[in-house]
Structure 1
Amino acid sequence: MTFCAAFKIDEGLVGISDTRLTSGAERTTARKVTIHQHGKHSMFLMTSGLRSVRDKALTYFEEVLEEQDTHFDKLYKAVNAFAAQVRLVALEDKEALKECGLDFNLFSIIGGQLEKDKEHKLYMLYPQGNWVEVGKGSPYFLIGESSYGKPIIDRVLRYESSMDMAIKLAYLAFDSTRISAVDVDFPIDVVLYKRDSYEIVQHRFEREDLQHLPELWQENLRKLVEEMPDEWVDVALSKLSPK
């Protein structure tokens, strides 16, 4: 399984992905985010799904970029081009995968800004090749193991959130997932984009880089639980028979 999250806030874009690959009892590490940057063409692409489908679709897409990069002046056009490659891979491999008991599965998040985009953009692409654009009311996408990190994002993230806050929140969503899902783990790759900058930066964090954060977060959660009002709890406890 995979954990990938991307946020669109007023300041720009924040993305995070784990790197664990699990195949039976075997666990390996591989990058799940790619960056394409040339002049005023800046975008990143995250994927969750079958590794073979991902690699083939990305290889096809990189070839398209080499030949037609200047034709894409808005990000949705690049998303459409990648969608076409996903459909092509489905046409070539879907039946063979089905015969082996595997579903054709590739979810993608594409973010960035191209020269004629009025602002930074964030899209999610489905395995069928259709896509949706993020909205300000719910300014994020999650793919892969999404259930554990979603609650904290829903509670905290706003379009007006600072980039500093968004980075911390992305990490906490990953940490919540890592604790509950054995096939999501460090290292993590963080990608950042500041609006109208046409420059995407990336940083990898190893477990030891952030080893103090899980304990700090856990301790503060305990304190918050202890500090919650007791009156409503006392109502329930009062129904217990005294010893």
Structure 2
Amino acid sequence: MTYCLGIRVREGLVALADTRITSGTETTTAKKISLHTNEHGTVFLMTSGLRSVRDKAVTYFEEILEKDGHKYDKMYNVANAFGTQLRRVAKEDKEALTSSGLHFNLFGIVGGKLSADTEPKLYLLYPEGNWIEIGTATPFTIIGNSGYGKPILNRVLNYESSLRFALKTGFLSFDSTRVSASDVGFPIDVIILKAETGEIIEKRFEEKDLQDISRTWGDKLSQIIKEIPEGWIDEINTLSDNRDDEMFISLQQ
């Protein structure tokens, strides 16, 4: 499985991807996020799905960028280009995969800001090659194992959050997934795009780099749970006691 997260806030974009690859009982690491540059700027791409399909689609995409990248001055052009390559790979491999009991399940996240874009853009691409733009109402998208990390993002993240807050929340979302899913893990790759300057920063974090943050997150969760009022639990106990009393009286009668 995979955990890839894209966040769009007013200050820019955050992308985070784990690197764990699981095949049977073997676990390796591989980069799931890539940067691609043309004369109009730099974009990032994250993918989730079968490794063979992912590698093929990304290879085709890079080839198209080398050939026609100079034509793409808006991010939707790039999203369309990758969607076309998804359909190309599906046409070549989907039937064979299906006959072998495998699903063509490649998803993608494309983000960046090119010369004709007025602001950074973020897109989610489906296996069919179509896409949606991530807007301001729900300013993030996850591909791969999304169930464990989504709640914290839904609760605290919004379009007005700072890049720093988005990155911190994104890591905690990943960490919640990592401790619950054995097929998601370190190292993690992070990309930050600053809307004001267009600067892109790329960084890889090993588990040792963030273990103190992970430990603090776990300790804080335990502490806040202990601090949550328990009056409602007392009411449950009272109701239980009342039912027991009523039952005892009924038996006596």
The reply to whether TM is greater than 0.5 is yes
Partner of 1:46: 46
1:191 Cα deviation from its structure 2 partner: 0.6
CA offsets 1:69-118 (integer angstroms, 9 cap, x no match): 11001000111011111111111111111121111110000000111011
CA offsets 1:27-50 (integer angstroms, 9 cap, x no match): 100000001124432210000001
**Contact 1:192/1:201 (<8 A) preserved:** yes
- C-alpha separation in 2, matches of 1:181 and 1:37: 33
Matched AA of 1:50:
L
The structure number with the bigger radius of gyration is 2
- C-alpha separation in 1, matches of 2:110 and 2:239: 54
Partner of 2:249: none
Partner of 1:10: 10
| Structure 2 CA distance for partners of 1:78 and 1:70, relative to 1, 3 Å | same
Identity score, percent: 52
The RMSD of aligned alpha carbons is: 1.3
Partner of 1:224: 224
**Contact 2:21/2:27 (<8 A) preserved:** yes
1:165 counterpart = 2:190? no
Matched AA of 1:146:
S
- C-alpha separation in 1, matches of 2:231 and 2:91: 61
Q: Which runs of 4+ in 1 moved over 4 A?
A: none
**Contact 1:16/1:170 (<8 A) preserved:** yes
**Runs of 5+ in structure 2 lacking a partner?**
245-253
1:196 Cα deviation from its structure 2 partner: 4.3
Partner of 1:59: 59
- C-alpha separation in 1, matches of 2:159 and 2:230: 34
Matched AA of 2:146:
S
**Contact 1:83/1:129 (<8 A) preserved:** yes
- C-alpha separation in 2, matches of 1:71 and 1:140: 28
**Contact 1:42/1:112 (<8 A) preserved:** yes
**Runs of 5+ in structure 1 lacking a partner?**
none
**Contact 1:35/1:200 (<8 A) preserved:** no
Provide TM-score, normalisation by structure 2.
Answer: 0.93
Partner of 2:154: 154
